[in-house]
């Protein structure tokens, strides 16, 4: 039986504005995983949440917060875009295990354990070596499992990713990356990692950030959708989704913040280089959320049936959140 | 030629009071490396500094701040105890390279790169594995070298310690630990590490914390001083000093803070255990600073000459600070 089409973008970090929310509606977006922070401390994260509260107030006709998976259906039935928030780094909890539940109570549904560099929890994909999940990291994984905060390993290194999957009692995701076999970027993932994500009943969101694509900004829609079809053979189509990594209208100062945070006196160019320091040229077939229907057609064109397309475009995200972003059945599990 | 006797304790973290400062004077202490913080954030570190400012004001007849190595001679000539501050973890700089210079400007002369656990800079001695100095850690080492903040690897793991020594252009220290050959504790150091500390012209402060000693609280003064004499053969006597790790009058809540910070929901017993959770029983020959002259006599009794004793008791600390805690000769070194 074919499910109703649902469109969820599993990662965006735009310079949010009414124009962008209107583009989302025009593109048929039902919900979006919006990045709340990159390197912000606990206190700074509260200010970013405050900014979202203002947006929810100012644009209440267009957007509505998603704190539980079921809120996505409520958003859809009210004709609005549900926004669920995620952190690209563990900076919001600083060194404090108690901040996991506090942040979840405030609506942080997803958190990456690392962003490129070593964190207090795990290792990022830009470090020379990865010694896996730390002592603090083990406790945080258990606590995220308990309160229903989804573990995202998009920017983590391989060993840390595999260990997080092993340690977590709930599915782990990669919200925005591609198979390394498609394009061998540091941020893309080996088949070993992708299989482990599928085996834990997790999710991979395919990135449309040009640095993660074969031929960069010249990657075609067909190449992108063929990559998805091939990955379905590896992971099972129910574990696939979209995480465009759209960063609209952001100044390069935001790119510098993502790459350098406060940790580097030298300029770190991340996936770019000194001669290619800015934002990559956007894809012609995915300039903003209005182009999301291109993906629906592209997936059909590579032979996906309607149920598979509905899963990849959004239903798989809802199912994942139901598995990973709800409170754990019983707190007695904690003592077990 | 024999140097004048000088007494410096290279690590204390007591529940500071006028009584304790008076004990220091009675014991002939000229200067002390006082731990400022264990896990405190940047903001919390400022409050700890504020508390020291109050102490310097209230007990100006007994103690005086040391911000530069030459301040120790000034303290001595005014008959007061010089206090130089150090952090046992890198938490005061959080994720911010700029905080290294800010903290140095405020008088933080020494900083450990880790405290038992993985930090953003390096790996602690309680983690299962050590992948060495991180990307951020490399920048922090360079910045500490530049501003003259001493790198202390007392609670770090072996590989991180060796890499820090390799990366640092200035001597690295272990302010409070003992040779693992004397007592095989996680916190004690291999001969490989001790030799590397000596080769970089650094310093080892011998700990008198019972968990770091053979026979624990029953370790005798003679055993302790014989350990020092044997280490002189390995490292050269000019690289040896005292770092008692005296923690006077601290409630067990402080021990819990050291061991658990905010990172653990489970109780972590550190060097202790569930059945031995509290502070260790103190040494009979080193209950507080009034007993420091026992060390002078103990070192003489194992055959050290007066110059060697003066070095270990304090002069080697002054020389180390002159090598490592002064601003780098020229800021143009940074660009080199």
Mean pLDDT of A117-140: 98
Give the closest of A96, A98, A129 to B131, CB-based.
A129
Q: Which residues in B lie closer than 8 A to residue A98 (C-beta atoms)?
A: 262
Contact across the interface for B120 and A118, Cβ inside 8 Å: yes
Q: Which residues pair with B152 in a beta bridge?
A: B112, B173
CB contact under 8 Å between B96 and A132, yes or no, is: no
Rg (CA), chain A: 18
Nearest CA in chain A to B139: A264
Instruction: Indicate the average pLDDT of chain B.
Output: 95
When CB atoms are compared, the residue of A91, A135, A265 closest to B139 is A265
Q: State the count of interchain CB pairs (< 8 A) between A and B.
A: 97
Q: Is there a contact between A95 and B134 if contact means CB atoms under 8 Å apart? A: no
3-state secondary structure of A309: helix
- pLDDT tens sequence across B53-80: 999 999 999 999 999 999 999 999 999 9
Q: Cβ contact (<8 Å) for A136 and B120?
A: no
- What per-residue confidence (pLDDT) applies to B329? 72
How close, in Å, is residue B32 to chain A by CA atoms?
Answer: 29
Task: Please provide the distance, in angstroms rounded to a whole number, between the alpha carbons at the two ends of chain A.
Answer: 40
Cβ distance of B139 and A91 shorter than 8 Å: no
User: Closest chain A residue to B89 measured between Cα atoms?
Assistant: A95
Please give the share of chain B, as a percent, with pLDDT higher than 90.
Answer: 92
pLDDT at site A3: 81
Question: For residues B129 and A159, what is the distance between their CA atoms, to the nearest angstrom?
Answer: 12
- Ordered by start, the domain boundaries in chain B are 8-335
pLDDT in tens, A92-118: 999 999 999 999 999 999 999 999 999
Q: How many helices (H) and strands (E) does chain A have?
A: 13, 9
Q: Measured between CB atoms, which of B91, B131, B265 is closest to A97?
A: B265
CA A281 to chain centre: 21
Q: What is the DSSP letter of A318?
A: H
**Multiple choice CATH, B8-335, 3.30.460.80, 3.20.20.140, 3.60.15.10, 3.30.70.890:** 3.20.20.140
Cβ separation B264–A94 shorter than 8 A: no
Give A309-331 pLDDT, tens digit per residue: 999 999 999 999 999 999 987 54
Taking CB atoms and an 8 Å cutoff, what residues of chain A touch B261? 95
Mark yes or no for CB contact B136/A91 under 8 Å. no
pLDDT band, residue B3 (cuts 50/70/90): confident
Q: How many whole angstroms separate alpha carbon A217 and alpha carbon A283?
A: 5
List the single best residue of B265, B267, B331 to mutate versus A (max A Cβ within 10 A): B265
Question: Measured on CA atoms in the order A14, A20, A21, A27, is the torsion positive or negative?
Answer: negative
* Percent of all residues in chain B with a pLDDT value above 70, rounded to a whole number: 97
Of A325-334, B145-154, B272-281, B324-333, give the range with the top mean pLDDT.
B145-154
φ, ψ (nearest 5 deg) of residue B33:
-85, 110
Q: Given phi > 0 = left and psi -120 to 50 = alpha, else beta, which region is B101?
A: alpha
pLDDT tens digit sequence for A24-54? 999 999 999 999 999 999 999 999 999 999 9
Question: Is residue B334 scored above 80 in pLDDT?
Answer: no
Mean pLDDT over residues B91-114, rounded?
Answer: 98
To 10 degrees, what angle do helices B135-147 and B158-167 make? 50
Given an 8 Å threshold on Cβ–Cβ distance, is B120 in contact with A123?
no
| Percentage of chain A modeled with pLDDT above 90 | 92
Is B262 in Cβ contact with A97 (below 8 Å)? yes
Task: Please report, for residues A71, A107, A152, the alpha-carbon distance to residue A50 in angstroms, rounded to integers and kept in the order given.
Answer: 20, 12, 23
What pLDDT score was predicted for residue B141? 98
Nearest CA in chain B to A117: B135
CB contact under 8 A, B135 and A126: yes
- φ/ψ (deg, to 5) at A307: -65, -40
List C-alpha distances in Å: A82 to A36, A37, A311: 14, 18, 17
Q: What is the pLDDT of residues A46-90, one digit of tens each?
A: 999 999 999 999 999 999 999 999 999 999 999 999 999 999 999
pLDDT surpassing 50 at residue B335 = no
Give the whole-angstrom CA distance, residue B9 versus residue A145.
Answer: 46
In this predicted model, what pLDDT tens digit does every residue of B184-195 receive, in sequence order?
999 999 999 999
User: What pLDDT does A2 receive?
Assistant: 63
Residue of chain B nearest A121, judged by CA positions: B118
pLDDT one-digit tens code per residue, B12-68? 999 999 999 999 999 999 999 999 999 999 999 999 999 999 999 999 999 999 999
pLDDT mean over A241-252: 96
Cα nearest neighbour of A266 on chain B? B139
| Cα separations in angstroms, B87 against A16, A237, B257 | 41, 51, 14
Residue A334 has a pLDDT of 43
Mean per-residue pLDDT, A283-305: 98
* pLDDT above 90 for B2: no
CA B60, B61, B66, B68: dihedral to nearest 10 degrees? 110
Give which of A115, A69, A63, A123 is closest to A92, Cα–Cα: A115
Interface of B with A (CB under 8 A): 39, 41, 91, 94-98, 117-120, 123, 126-132, 134-137, 139, 143, 261-266
What integer pLDDT is reported at residue A254 of this predicted model? 93
Residues of B in contact with A265 (CB under 8 A): 97, 139, 143
The answer to whether the Cβ–Cβ distance between A95 and B91 falls below 8 Å is: yes
pLDDT at A332: 46
Contacts of residue B119 in chain A, CB cutoff 8 Å? 120
Do B131 and A136 make contact, defined as CB atoms within 8 angstroms? Answer: no
Secondary structure string (H, E, C) spanning chain B: CCCCCCCEEEEECCCCCHHHHHHHHHCCCCEEEEEEECCCCHHHHHHHHHHHHHHHHHCCCCEEECCCCCHHHHHHHCCCEEEEEEECCCHHHCCCCHHHHHHHHCCEEEEECCCCCCCCCCCECCCCCCCCCCHHHHHHHHHHHHHCCEEECCCECHHHHHHHHHHCCCCCEEEEECECCCCCCCCCECHHHHHHHHHCCCEEEECCCHHHCCCHHHCCHHHHHHHHHHHHHHHCHHHEEECCCECCCCCHHHHHHHHHCCCCCCCCCCCCECCECCCCCCCCCCCCHHHHHHHHHHHHHCCCCHHHHHHHHHHHHHHHHHHHCCCCCCCHHHHC
Residues of A contacting chain B (CB within 8 angstroms): 39, 41, 91, 94-98, 117-120, 123, 126-132, 134-137, 139, 143, 261-266, 268
CA distance B289 to A254: 53
Residue A97 to residues A60, A65, A246, B128, B248: CA-CA distances in angstroms? Answer: 33, 25, 31, 20, 29
Average predicted confidence (pLDDT) for chain A: 95
Mean pLDDT of A240-268: 94
Residue B250 predicted with pLDDT over 50: yes
Look at residue B126 and tell me whether its pLDDT is greater than 60: yes
CA–CA distances in Å: residue A262 to residues A155, A307, B40, B100: 18, 45, 18, 12
Q: In whole angstroms, what is the distance from residue B192 CA to residue B238 CA?
A: 18
Cβ atoms of A228 and A182 within 8 Å: the answer is no
Dihedrals φ, ψ of B247, to 5°?
-125, 80
pLDDT digits (tens, 9 = 90+) for A171-212: 999 999 999 999 999 999 999 999 999 999 999 999 999 999
Nearest to B154, CA basis, from B188, B201, B199, B119 = B188
3-class SS string, A194-257? HHHHHHCCCEEEECCCHHHCCCHHHCCHHHHHHHHHHHHHHHCHHHEEECCCECCCCCHHHHHH
Structure tokens at A76: 């859809």
**Pick from B39, B95, B143: which is nearest to A91 by CB?**
B95
Residues in chain B, how many?
336
d(CA A52, CA A33) in angstroms, rounded, equals: 13
Interface test with A, best of B114, B122, B134 (most A CBs within 10 A): B134
In this predicted structure, what is the pLDDT of residue A330? 59
Neighbouring residues of A313: CB distance < 8 A, sequence distance ≥ 6:
A5, A6, A7, A8, A241, A242, A292, A295, A296, A299
**For residues B67 and B107, is the Cβ–Cβ distance under 8 A?**
yes
Please, which residues bridge with residue A82 across strands?
Answer: A31, A64
* HEC letters along B260-303: HCCCCCCCCCCCCECCECCCCCCCCCCCCHHHHHHHHHHHHHCC
User: Contact B262/A98, CB-based, under 8 Å?
Assistant: yes
Instruction: With residue A12 as reference, give the H or E element that holds it.
Output: strand A8-12
Q: How confident is the model at residue B86 (pLDDT cuts 50, 70, 90)?
A: very high
d(CA B287, CA B294): 11
Check pLDDT > 60 for residue B269.
yes
Joined together, the tokens standing for residue A136 give 């603090």
Task: Say whether B120 and A120 touch across the interface (CB within 8 A).
Answer: yes
User: Does the distance separating the beta carbons of A98 and B263 come in below 8 Å?
Assistant: no
């Amino acid at each position: 039986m074919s499910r109703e089409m649902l469109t969820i973008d599993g990662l965006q970090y735009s310079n949010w504005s009414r124009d962008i929310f209107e583009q989302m509606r025009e593109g048929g977006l039902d919900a979006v995983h919006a990045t709340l922070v990159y390197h912000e401390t606990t206190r700074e994260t509260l200010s970013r949440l405050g900014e979202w509260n203002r947006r929810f107030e100012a644009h209440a006709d267009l957007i509505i917060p998603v704190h539980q998976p079921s809120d996505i259906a409520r958003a859809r039935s009210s004709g609005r875009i549900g926004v669920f928030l995620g952190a690209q780094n563990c900076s919001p909890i600083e060194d404090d295990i108690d901040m996991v539940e506090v942040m979840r109570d405030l609506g942080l549904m997803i958190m990456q354990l690392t962003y490129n560099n070593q964190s207090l929890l795990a290792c990022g994909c830009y470090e020379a070596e990865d010694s896996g999940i730390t002592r603090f990291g083990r406790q945080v994984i258990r606590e995220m499992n308990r309160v229903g905060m989804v573990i995202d390993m998009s920017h983590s290194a391989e060993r840390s990713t595999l260990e997080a999957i092993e340690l977590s009692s709930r599915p782990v995701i990669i919200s925005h990356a591609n198979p390394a076999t498609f394009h061998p970027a540091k941020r893309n993932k080996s088949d070993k990692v992708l299989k482990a994500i599928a085996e834990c009943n997790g999710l991979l969101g395919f990135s449309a950030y040009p640095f993660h694509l074969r031929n960069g900004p010249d990657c075609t829609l067909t190449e992108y959708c063929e990559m998805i079809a091939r990955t379905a053979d590896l992971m099972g189509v129910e574990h696939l989704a979209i995480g465009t990594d759209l960063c609209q209208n952001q100044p390069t100062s935001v790119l510098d913040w993502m790459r350098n945070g406060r940790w580097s006196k030298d300029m770190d160019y991340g996936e770019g280089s000194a001669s290619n320091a800015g934002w990559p040229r956007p894809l012609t077939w995915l300039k903003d959320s209005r182009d999301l229907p291109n993906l629906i057609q592209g997936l059909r064109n590579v032979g996906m049936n309607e149920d598979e397309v509905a899963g990849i475009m959004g239903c798989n995200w809802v199912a994942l959140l139901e598995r990973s972003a709800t409170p754990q059945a019983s707190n007695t599990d904690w003592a077990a």
